[in-house]
Structure 1
Amino acid sequence: MKFLYFVSIALLLGTAASLPVAPKGDPVKAIQGLVGRILSQEWVDKFSYEVIPATSDGFDVFEVDTDNKANRPVFRGNNGVALASAFNYYLKYYCYCSVSWGLNSTGDQLKLPSTLPLPSKGKRVIFPNRYRYYQNVCTVSYSMAWWDWNRWEREIDWMAMNGLNLILSFTGQEVAWYFSYTLIGLTDEELDQYFSGPAFLAWQRMGNIRGWAGPLDKGWIYVQYYLQKTIFEQTRTFGMINVFPGFSGHVPKGLLRLYPDSNFTRATQWGHFGTEYSEDYLLEPTDSQFLGVAQTYYKLLIFYFGGTDHVYNADTYNEMQPSSTDLNFLKESNAAIYNAMKSVDPNATFLMQGWLFRNEAGFWTNERIKAYLSGVPNDDMIILDLSSEQVPIWSKTESFFGKPFIWCMLHNYGGIRGIYGNLTTIGNDPIDARLVNGSTMVGVGMTPEAIEHNPIMYDLMGEMSWRSEKVEAVMSWVEDYARRRYGTMTNNIRNAWTLLLNGAYQFHWSWQIKSLLVRHPEFNMAFDKRFATFNIATAWSYLVTDAVNDNADPKVGPLLYDIVDIGRQVIVNTFADVYTIYTNAYSSYMSKKNSNVYTAMKDLAKSWTTMFEDLDGLLGSNANFLLGTWINDARKSAQPGTSSSAVDRIEFNARNQITMWGPNENIEDYAAKEWSGLVSSYYAQRWKLFINTIDESIMNDKAFNKTAYESMLFTLEKNWGEKIEAYPTTPTGDTIELSNKLMQKYYHNIDYVNAKYMSKMDADIPSDDLYGGAVNLWANTTEQYVVLCEMNPSCVGFSFSYVNKNPKMVSFKTKVSGITVEKGRMLYVKH
């Protein structure tokens, strides 16, 4: 690190014109390396590879054809990304194979035919999108914080195969910041108070927080720097454009000591972090010192990483507001950020996230947006319309008033789990946006806050990089996707994905998609009821049945992943129903003091405990759902020889981000994960405390003591976050065997001939006391209520309104003896 320091001083004596620029590399060599990694080295020579020119107007192109001389498939493209896209197209549409996320390639299905198919008619694709962008500024913390080179190399291959060519390159940037501020005159103590811990760097970089979970170990900075150099070199071999972090004005407090007369603005408090870790300092871009600080940073950044692709991301007002509404001030602020880039790199392009225009919509009127953007020439700026699939800004701002923009799918926040997304929107809206009269759209992008979930959404979004027409028949595309993913197509697979497409994958993300199981336990918790548990459970049963009967290969990694993920969703949905039943029963007991209701609550609490065990066991059977991997990777990310206390601090970072997210439950459970180990050791213990506190209030005949409960819960969470404890990093148990067992428990096909229920209602426990009229449950079919009743040993029945509005229920009534309908209600009772 001392060597880098002295090099930095020498560098500042030179000029930007002397900075080295790395070569782009050999596209054929790049694709051959990729094929060898994805398939194996022996496959490399079974294909031909040719470099062809881009279109006359500079758009990328790929071809899949037959090399008649060598009698083998040939992939053609104008760069490495285009060649990789051709390879992926061939795998998907000629071999029915799939490459997706999954630890140790468990997301791949690569059962290629013994004789490779030769295209009878060549396929030529011209990318309609000049840019295909990837990553959110948060992704590097929520998903990539602990990655090593092997994981990064795999992701770069995935990027290339999905046509992505504009890549956020934020790893390792702290080396440039550290030496920039050191050269300017800040001390290590001042920088230790500034840099956040490695799990929270994304928000420190954006000026939201400072110092939390730090100090940042300098050995970690060193490791990340060399990792980024390797990433940068590899992406360039494919012809990808790297987006480097720009200087947006957020600075350490120590700069006030050096520039006491400069104009600094305190940011508003972010995430309830308070003044100790938030309210960062912004050196106003219009201040006279801004340019000098920026130039120091840009020169070091470009030097350390061996060149630049001339695109820089800067977001000065991410989730905060400017200090003035004056239109000229807004224009000059953005112009100053742009001019600082240009002063070091004359070819600079300013890339900006459009999130601020959505997040602070009350501030950013169209007049202010237009003024702010006018500070930068149109040709030198690109806007990421960060969540176009949910709240497009381009359509409200006349295509960002002439600025080129990229239509992006955000989809996920914080890495929370849930089966959801809108495939129809993804397959149609990017095409519409590009064809609108006057549109300035120049590309599409994937901008999730976290990755490695809902792979179908990203498979289709990858295709939108090269598709020029809408995906009109979405179900047909989904069937092809399922066949590629599992290596086969059966009626059960088709039925499963029909249910998923028509349910979970026709909705956009909602804050309430996060399951109750991973949320801070309390009363009156709302949850999203749009995704029918019975439909998801039925899809689960179809896939499990095929795997059990060997209709679908039970060893295929993607099938195992989907079975675990869908089963996870079924259990957490059912958990929400049990929560509703339990809290309704508590309210009933406190008003009526019915001892039978209390007995039912005790029995239901036992079922709840079993549910945690079931979920943790199911998740633990698959390598992609293990807490141990996250924590182990965090510890391994430290530089060899790092002190044990510094490594322990990295583990604290890993634990805190996915739980309390801050010192005082600041944005608690935002990055919650349903992972084996986390379910049993953290979430289950929180809910156990909640139930025990309720039980104690009943036993003492007192109201629920929320203050005492919250204090105990905080202590539990804090203690867990500060533990140093290893968790399994390898799966245990047989996924199919476990799933089949749990499916029988959480999903019932009602036997109409041998009905298990009769019309005898125990008057001691009116059904509405347990089920609250069934108004707030996930369940929306009779079968689901039978499952819930089976889970509760004290359940004697339930009621359901609106019977006559559901044809299935009417037909159910006619087929099962012993069912009575009284005043529009259907009554079920256990034998």
Structure 2
Amino acid sequence: MEGIEQNPVMYDLMSEMAFQHSPVDVKAWIDLYSRRRYGRFVQPMQDAWNILYHTIYNCTDGAYDKNRDVIVSFPDVDPNSISTLQTVLNDVHEQYGKRYLRRAILEEPNDSYDKPHLWYSTSEVIHALKLFLESGNQLSDSSTYRYDLIDLTRQALAKYANELFLDAIEAYKLDDLHAVAHLSEKFLGLVEDLDMLLGCHDGFLLGPWIESAKELAQDEDQERQFEWNARTQITMWFDNTELEASLLRDYGNKYWSGLLRDYYGPRAAIYFKYLTESLEEGKGFDLKAWRREWIKLTNSWQSSRNVFPVKSTGNALNVSQWLFEKYLQDLGSHDH
């Protein structure tokens, strides 16, 4: 399950290549993909997939670890060790027939926090999402369309959440308590909203993962153990101490409804609580207290037995449209 059952387009192409006798023209293959996947041709969808082909599915910088967004891989460091990005506009370049301002990223050295990887124009991806939404009236009866719509909305919102987090860190360094409180609340609200979105499709639910593990058990003790195993694999392996997390944490992270609301959100809230207390009391960030509390939260969550839905609810198109208007609509004209 580590990295499997996501990015269907990659598995579709990979499986087809076994039957090809010559190199695949990926651009031509993508041009036919949306018709095959959704059962009909819709021009905005083909345009959207061409954007995704040139952006999200076109990483050429050699980086391999791309699933380290803040929501699902929260930094376990002192906020003062996190450098905030500075961007300068230094030239204009042509890309796909359009002109873009190229940005040079300036970072402080010796950053102990490995920032989430970003290799594409976020504004272009937001535009692709807009095209997905425009196609909804024609395609919303397709389960594969709803899956891809949720996945793309999730991707755009995850990158936006990364920026909210860095904005909160910058506000903390400026001793701006009001801004930290506002940005923290916005980040946590986004996590709740994202959990609701993911709950609109069976492919993004935590419940089936846990229930499938429990179904393998032959008695109550095994069921408890198998559920603990399932919860541990997607959070943190159990070789932590009270103040030191396992190195194997969040490596199997998932954007699953239930996991965001029940675990990732509460974990982030603990960090923001200590940011706020640091400013209110005029003291340094209590790294030990933060670690003690989030590790305890994790171990408690791993041993808990609460039940999560195995069937989706909600209208994926309506929720995606609402979240687009709430968070992304004003960001589509520039990278963030």
Secondary structure, aligned partner of 1:686: helix
Deviations 1:181-231 (Å, cap 9, x if unpaired)? xxxxxxxxxxxxxxxxxxxxxxxxxxxxxxxxxxxxxxxxxxxxxxxxxxx
* Candidates 208, 212, 237, aligned match of 1:633: 212
1:697 counterpart residue number? 278
2:38 and 2:29 map into 1 onto residues whose CA distance is: 14
1:493 counterpart residue number? 45
**1:656–1:662 Cα contact (<8 Å) kept:** yes
1:463 and 2:16 matched: yes
1:539 and 2:128 matched: yes
2:266 counterpart residue number? 685
**1:521–1:690 Cα contact (<8 Å) kept:** no
**1:658–1:670 Cα contact (<8 Å) kept:** yes
Aligned residues: CA RMSD? 1.6
Deviations 1:709-766 (Å, cap 9, x if unpaired)? 11111111111111111111111111111011111123226xxxxxxxxxxxxxxxxx
Structure-1-length-normalised TM-score: 0.35
The one-letter amino acid of 2:293's match is: M
In the TM superposition, residue 782 of structure 1 has moved relative to its aligned partner by 4.8
Q: How does 1:422-441 map to 2 (within 5 A)?
A: none
1:588 and 2:142 matched: no
Secondary structure, aligned partner of 2:21: coil
Deviations 1:586-631 (Å, cap 9, x if unpaired)? 1121xxxxxxx32122111221121011100000111011111111
* Candidates 494, 514, 521, aligned match of 2:68: 514
In the TM superposition, residue 708 of structure 1 has moved relative to its aligned partner by 1.6
1:570 and 1:542 map into 2 onto residues whose CA distance is: 14
The one-letter amino acid of 1:532's match is: S
The share of aligned pairs that are identical, in percent, is 30
Secondary structure, aligned partner of 2:329: coil
1:563 counterpart residue number? 149
**2:123–2:333 Cα contact (<8 Å) kept:** no
**1:560–1:736 Cα contact (<8 Å) kept:** yes
1:480 and 2:44 matched: no
In the TM superposition, residue 784 of structure 1 has moved relative to its aligned partner by 4.7
1:612 and 2:191 matched: yes
**1:537–1:570 Cα contact (<8 Å) kept:** yes
Q: How does 1:25-40 map to 2 (within 5 A)?
A: none
In the TM superposition, residue 656 of structure 1 has moved relative to its aligned partner by 0.3
2:101 counterpart residue number? none
Q: How does 1:232-243 map to 2 (within 5 A)?
A: none
Q: How does 1:153-164 map to 2 (within 5 A)?
A: none
Greater share of helix residues, 1 or 2?
2
**1:617–1:676 Cα contact (<8 Å) kept:** yes
The one-letter amino acid of 2:194's match is: L
2:312 and 2:188 map into 1 onto residues whose CA distance is: 22
Unpaired stretches in structure 2, ≥5 consecutive residues: 83-112, 241-245
In the TM superposition, residue 512 of structure 1 has moved relative to its aligned partner by 4.0
2:314 and 2:239 map into 1 onto residues whose CA distance is: 36
2:290 and 2:217 map into 1 onto residues whose CA distance is: 37
* Candidates 604, 621, 624, aligned match of 2:200: 621
2:226 counterpart residue number? 650
**2:140–2:317 Cα contact (<8 Å) kept:** yes
The one-letter amino acid of 2:19's match is: W
2:57 and 2:41 map into 1 onto residues whose CA distance is: 20
Deviations 1:757-809 (Å, cap 9, x if unpaired)? xxxxxxxxxxxxxxxxxxxxxx8x75455xxxxxxxxxxxxxxxxxxxxxxxx
The one-letter amino acid of 1:564's match is: I
2:247 and 2:303 map into 1 onto residues whose CA distance is: 16
Q: How does 1:381-392 map to 2 (within 5 A)?
A: none
Secondary structure, aligned partner of 2:254: coil
The one-letter amino acid of 1:562's match is: D
**1:512–1:528 Cα contact (<8 Å) kept:** yes
**2:71–2:191 Cα contact (<8 Å) kept:** no
Describe the shift of the 1:520–1:609 C-alpha distance in structure 2 as closer, same or farther (beyond 3 A): closer
2:287 counterpart residue number? 706
Q: How does 1:203-282 map to 2 (within 5 A)?
A: none
Structure-2-length-normalised TM-score: 0.84
Whichever of the two has the greater Rg, that structure is 1
1:680 and 1:609 map into 2 onto residues whose CA distance is: 9
Unpaired stretches in structure 1, ≥5 consecutive residues: 1-142, 144-413, 416-450, 590-596, 750-778, 786-831
1:748 and 1:655 map into 2 onto residues whose CA distance is: 35
**1:655–1:721 Cα contact (<8 Å) kept:** yes
1:513 and 1:649 map into 2 onto residues whose CA distance is: 28
2:320 and 2:202 map into 1 onto residues whose CA distance is: 15
The aligned length equals 294
Higher relative contact order at CA 8 Å, sep ≥6: structure 1 or structure 2? 2
Secondary structure, aligned partner of 2:296: helix
Secondary structure, aligned partner of 2:272: helix
Moved beyond 6 Å, runs of 4+: none
2:75 and 2:255 map into 1 onto residues whose CA distance is: 15
**2:180–2:276 Cα contact (<8 Å) kept:** no
1:600 and 2:179 matched: yes
1:530 counterpart residue number? 119
Secondary structure, aligned partner of 2:156: helix
2:120 and 2:268 map into 1 onto residues whose CA distance is: 24
1:748 counterpart residue number? 329
2:55 counterpart residue number? 503
The one-letter amino acid of 2:122's match is: T
